[in-house]
Structure 1
Amino acid sequence: MRELSGKVAVVTGAASGIGRALALRLAAEGMTLMLADVEPSGLARTQAMAEGAKVLTQVTDVSDRAAVHHLADRTFGELGAVHLLCNNAGVFQGGHMWTRDPDDFAWLLGVNLWGVLHGIHAFVPRMIEQDTEGHIVNTVSISGLFAAPYSGAYSVTKYAAFAASQSLAQDLAMVGSKLKVTALCPGGVQTGINRSDRVRPADLSTSRTQDEGDSLKIIDGIVERGMDPATVAAIAVEAVREERFLVFTHPGYGEGLREQTEALLEGKLPPLPLYE
């Protein structure tokens, strides 16, 4: 989908980070936007920053199926179409696999996996019916390809989100759809992912463990040294125009994926790439 101007984009997780950067870049491209997030103040800020663009916002918990379907109903009802769907909302929970509470997994799966699945179910059938060029960008994370210590629960959700993205792309190709898919795999980016607890539902709260605190120290450093979200947004837009499926933000990940594949074929535990 090379021409973006005059078309409609939906971005979840748009109140900050990569979601905000995507919204601002797509606004600059001349797209009409529907922005969603659980943080109303952040959404309002993103809307104000997208000067000159038509922007609608809706507070939406992507883990809630009904909320995402309501978002889709409103978008198609008020804007008439959706050409670009960015399933971007995501949260992080660190710590060892054996210390993660079931509520940790429930929270992460709800946002990182079910958020993508709900987006697919609510938007893609109607995007197919439009019979126009279109694209779905799922913000997966490099943790959807490389499972690392201190982030097992997060990696579980992101591996699943990558599988959902690849299966979606294969299904669309099988039926001859004009829609394409990108699995966006960022590494270290200057976002609020290390402060995900600010949006954690009270009914899924848990007590912090020592290993969780250790993991946050690591991710704090990765975020602090990370890439500008605007650069990630530019990479994503280029991928949409070039119809690329797998997209890295950091050049070393391609070689890391080759090394991982070779190690797995030899039955070895793969080495980790640099996450920044």
Structure 2
Amino acid sequence: MRELDGRSALVTGGASGIGLAIAAALLGEGMSVAVADHSEEHLAEAERLLGAAAPRPGAVVLHRLDVTDRPGFAAVADRVEEQLGGIDLLVNNAGVGLSAPMSTAGFDDWDRMLAVNLGGVVNGVVTVVPRIRRHGRGGHVVNTASMAGLIPMLDAGGIYTTTKFAVRGLSASLRLALAPDRIGVTCLCPGLTRTRILDPVGGADAPAGTPTFDATRDPVNAEFALAQGSAMDPAVLAACVVDAVRANDAYVIAHAEFDDELDALHAEVLAAVRHDVPVAPGRRAVEERRRALVDEVKNSIATG
């Protein structure tokens, strides 16, 4: 998607934080943008903020959406296609950050986080990708993971880490799967960025029992909240996303403060490889053929 002007995007979790910044950046490139979000309050604020950035009348449409609601997702996608003439870019950005610590979490904690952070991405892919494929113009998918999809977090962020590692794996495989359809896939891995991720799902309308931020219970998230004062401006990250969509990059990693930790993680994985265990020739041949197929797809992506 080197040319963005005149094309259309659907951004989930698009009424605040990273999603709102991405929506604004896409409007700035001449795209029409559908903003989907669970919060009526945030949608009203987004309508006010994005209205002035719209490149033409009707370029911004807003829809309330719970990304775990599959029929609701399909209904929103149908309406967006009617309003904007199709969907060229899907940004699966909706997510939540609060849960019980992994070591003490119950099924409800796991189910809630998996349903939004992973299930919401799956629902976006299953609902929207066939629509992008159907119009034949090609397109792009951006899935918001996290640096926690590359580097594990401590106990308080363990369930979040699980979901974001899954989004990274989903994105990497989806990138290979959609290459023949000229649909690119980018995995966005933010570090500390100014967002509302510690807000409960649903905001003021959150159902009873929804986790809420409590610094005394959750010192890791307390540190995260404190660090918001020096967190990245989401507009900076959004500009990187625009660049990645145009270049069909596999990842957006804009937080260079993780360089050393990524190097250490890579070294740790390589050090775990046992070179004293024999590799059967047949097994090696299977993996070489698999790798050749992957490399072929990657080369096709690189050459456009």
TM-score normalized with structure 2 length: 0.82
Aligned mates of 1:210, 1:78 — CA distance in 2: 43
Larger Rg: 2
* Alignment correspondent of 2:290: none
* Alignment correspondent of 1:164: 170
Give the C-alpha shift of residue 96 in structure 1.
Answer: 3.1
* Alignment correspondent of 2:114: 109
- Aligned equivalent of 2:98, options 93, 96, 99: 93
Aligned length: 266
Within a 5 Å distance, the mapping from 1:17-96 to structure 2 comes to: 17-50=17-50, 51=52, 52-53=54-55, 54-96=59-101
* Runs of 4 or more above 6 Å deviation: 207-211
Query: 2:11·2:23 contact (CA, 8 Å) conserved in 1?
Result: yes
Q: State whether structure 2 residue 195 is matched by structure 1 residue 191.
A: yes
Aligned mates of 1:98, 1:18 — CA distance in 2: 29
**SS of structure 2 residue aligned to 1:117:** helix
**SS of structure 2 residue aligned to 1:193:** coil
Query: 1:85·1:136 contact (CA, 8 Å) conserved in 2?
Result: yes
Give the C-alpha shift of residue 67 in structure 1.
Answer: 1.3
Give the C-alpha shift of residue 227 in structure 1.
Answer: 0.2
Provide Cα deviations, 1:48-93, integer angstroms capped at 9, x if missing partner.
Answer: 2121341111100001111111111111122221111100011102
* Structure 2 portions without partners, runs of 5+: 274-304
Give the C-alpha shift of residue 7 in structure 1.
Answer: 0.7
**SS of structure 1 residue aligned to 2:218:** helix
Q: Identity of counterpart residues, as a percentage? A: 36
Query: 1:12·1:35 contact (CA, 8 Å) conserved in 2?
Result: yes
- Alpha carbons of 1:98 and 1:133: their partners in 2 closer, same or farther (altered >3 Å)? same
TM-score normalized with structure 1 length: 0.89
- Aligned equivalent of 1:181, options 185, 190, 210: 185
* Structure 1 portions without partners, runs of 5+: 269-276
CA RMSD between the two structures: 2.1
**SS of structure 2 residue aligned to 1:183:** strand
* Alignment correspondent of 1:226: 231
- Alpha carbons of 1:197 and 1:214: their partners in 2 closer, same or farther (altered >3 Å)? farther
* Alignment correspondent of 1:272: none
**SS of structure 2 residue aligned to 1:33:** strand
**SS of structure 1 residue aligned to 2:140:** strand
Give the C-alpha shift of residue 247 in structure 1.
Answer: 1.4
Within a 5 Å distance, the mapping from 1:134-173 to structure 2 comes to: 134-149=139-154, 150-173=156-179
Give the C-alpha shift of residue 20 in structure 1.
Answer: 0.7
Query: 2:16·2:195 contact (CA, 8 Å) conserved in 1?
Result: yes
Query: 1:95·1:215 contact (CA, 8 Å) conserved in 2?
Result: no
Give the C-alpha shift of residue 118 in structure 1.
Answer: 0.4
Give the C-alpha shift of residue 251 in structure 1.
Answer: 1.6
Letter in 1 for 2:40: P
Query: 1:13·1:19 contact (CA, 8 Å) conserved in 2?
Result: yes
Q: State whether structure 2 residue 252 is matched by structure 1 residue 239.
A: no
